[in-house]
Structure 1
Amino acid sequence: MPDYLPFDPQPRAPHPLPPALACDSQFHVFGPPAQYPVRPGAAYTMPTATWQVAQALHRTLGIQRGVIVQATTYGADHTVVLDALAGLNGEGPRNYVACANAVVLSERDDAYLHRLHDAGVRGARFTRAGLGISLTPAEQQRAFDRCREMGWYVKVQPEASGIAEQIAAFEQLDIPVLIDHMGRPDLAKGEADAGLAKLVELLGRGNFWVMLSLSEKTSRTGFPWDDVLPLARRLIDAAPARCVWGSDWPHPVSVKQPPNEGDLMELAYRFAPDAATLHKLLVSNPATFFGFDTP
């Protein structure tokens, strides 16, 4: 198992700070391993990145809301997410919610799912096959049914080659579907990328959303990731009310040094053509999709 690089330990504040109630719509928490054992057969492990560090990061960035996404590292055991939700929300308003890994829908009973829901889990992520968790067609259909029963959304992590070959199983769903990482198209293909064409088509429907994230890995030119701007703006133009932004901190499976989070947030500012659109990406769209109080 390769050693993946840790997050930048000295994040800087973006300039300017984001609008009030800005949301990081995807980040993960890891370890410490003695407290949260890695599941047998996990495809990867990551350096420790606790909810306390995430909380400090968000304070630096001016972020007040967030969505914790369960990593495949822990499979159906969501203890790390449950503890993070309890710690981040404390006794105050629920400013943090979470997304489960879809494997929990086939491996755990209804009582466990209701425990997750009561804690603030609102969706299930179907991860790419290369990360070691996959469902049979029957298990996947049952997972979709359970999401519908729970009132959860479905989240799709694109394959490294993009969504073109995996999206057929999801495109007929009538519940909210969030496509991660801008669909992970090949930027060299531009509009000719089949996954991008399919994503734009899906965004024409009312229930498909897209996460503007993974810019640093999608880019072919590197920092400051200028080649990602046309892609992000294409998706925003297609569905300005159904795009959200996520940091993907602490940037799992990074073989190059992960970026400074202040730089990534300022890239999000560049995605938006105006302040009203930026407010949608960071505040009002995530409030609508994840169920936060609408500002």
Structure 2
Amino acid sequence: MNPSNSAPLCQAPSIEVRSPLSPFPAGAVDCHAHVCGPATQFPYAQERIYTPPDATLESYESLLKMLGVDRAVLVQPSVYGTDNRAMLAALKSKPQQLRGVAVISNDPKAVSDQELADLHAAGVRGLRCNIVDITDKSAGLPIAQLRNLATRIKPFGWHLELLMHVNEYPNLAKTFEDFPVDLVFGHFGYSHAKHGVTDKGFQGLLDLMKNQRAWVKMTGPYRICDGDLPFMDMRPFSDAVIKANPNRLIWGSDWPHVMVKKQMPHDADLCDLLGEWVHDENLRNAILVNNPCILYDFPAFTGPNDLNP
């Protein structure tokens, strides 16, 4: 990884104030976003592959208001490594509105059971494991390490979120068929559209969904196809995961869209893209409200006052 003084600066998210054309239902949850900074208060890891512009909780709250989204899940970004302080500070400031997915050390002795309990009390409901950046993939998945993590978090009802290219693992379904906790796969399984929906790894992901073993985040279509909006190459992937198990789908903005090297998408357009993919109102409610409540342990939403008790 690059040292801090050479990690390239990412482009910032769009600041254009524009709401979606198709409003989201009350209680909608953005299930994938990051808070970054302020760097003066929460410095980034010395070794990282990119440097984000500050994307603070205050800026994100303004975005949620603009989009008409009531609740959110903050996922620990790689620029902080295992230092979850920025995310935890955000969770503690908005305990009714926010949940979190943390990153902890691979060393089982580095984090005590009490520390896991403290994370749970702060609103954490899962752990993220970055498989993409494993430098030596010759040994395959670190399945023993993942199982150890899963065993530790199972008493809390947590899940493991895997950032991985499922197309690299044709035996995905067999590998995880008896895994101790639910799995969550970001960015439709992070398989580039060029591999197609018939790819063995992606088909394995669909099998895990069908067998109630995995959830899929309908996030980051711009990361896994070559074109710009409306990301036509991604429609078959959206249709495939919906057909596999609509009760295992969630949506997220992926704000602030770190490391995007093409045209920066506007979040209102990403909201409207979901409307193009999912016309059925009941299905939209499931993806945006009901499913996230189950996975992230949100209470049933009865109105805005829920967020400010």
| Same-fold status (TM-score > 0.5) | yes
- Paired residue for 2:97? 95
Say which of 94, 110, 113 aligns to 2:116. Answer: 113
Say which of 53, 59, 64 aligns to 1:53. Answer: 59
Distance 1:84 1:271, change over 3 A: same
1:155-206 Cα distance to aligned partner (Å, 9 max, x none) = 11123x7452694654431321111110122323323322221111111111
Say which of 30, 40, 58 aligns to 1:34. Answer: 40
Distance 1:132 1:78, change over 3 A: farther
| Identity of matched residues, % | 29
Runs of 5+ unmatched residues, structure 1: none
- Judge which range, 126-135 or 95-104, deviates more: 126-135
- Paired residue for 2:230? 224
Q: Which residues in structure 2 correspond to 1:1-295 (within 5 Å)?
A: 1-89=7-95, 94-103=96-105, 106=108, 107-130=110-133, 138-159=144-165, 162=167, 164=169, 167=172, 170-295=176-301
**RMSD value, Cα:** 2.3
8 Å CA contact retained: 1:5, 1:257? no
1:205-259 Cα distance to aligned partner (Å, 9 max, x none) = 1131111011112222221212212211110111011100011100122222421
Distance 1:275 1:166, change over 3 A: same
8 Å CA contact retained: 1:101, 1:127? no
Q: Look up the SS of the partner of 1:241 in the other structure.
A: helix
Q: Residues of 2 paired with 1:32 and 1:166: CA distance?
A: 41
Q: Residues of 2 paired with 1:57 and 1:128: CA distance?
A: 29
- Judge which range, 277-286 or 31-40, deviates more: 31-40
Runs of 5+ unmatched residues, structure 2: 1-6, 302-309
Q: What letter matches 1:7 in structure 2? A: P
Q: Look up the SS of the partner of 1:221 in the other structure.
A: coil
Superposition deviation, residue 88 in structure 1: 2.9
Distance 1:61 1:104, change over 3 A: farther
Q: Residues of 1 paired with 2:244 and 2:144: CA distance?
A: 33
Q: Look up the SS of the partner of 1:24 in the other structure.
A: strand
Q: What letter matches 1:41 in structure 2? A: E
1:16-73 Cα distance to aligned partner (Å, 9 max, x none) = 2110001100000001111112223223221100011111100000000110001121
1:61-109 Cα distance to aligned partner (Å, 9 max, x none) = 00001100011211221110111112233xxxx1210001143774322
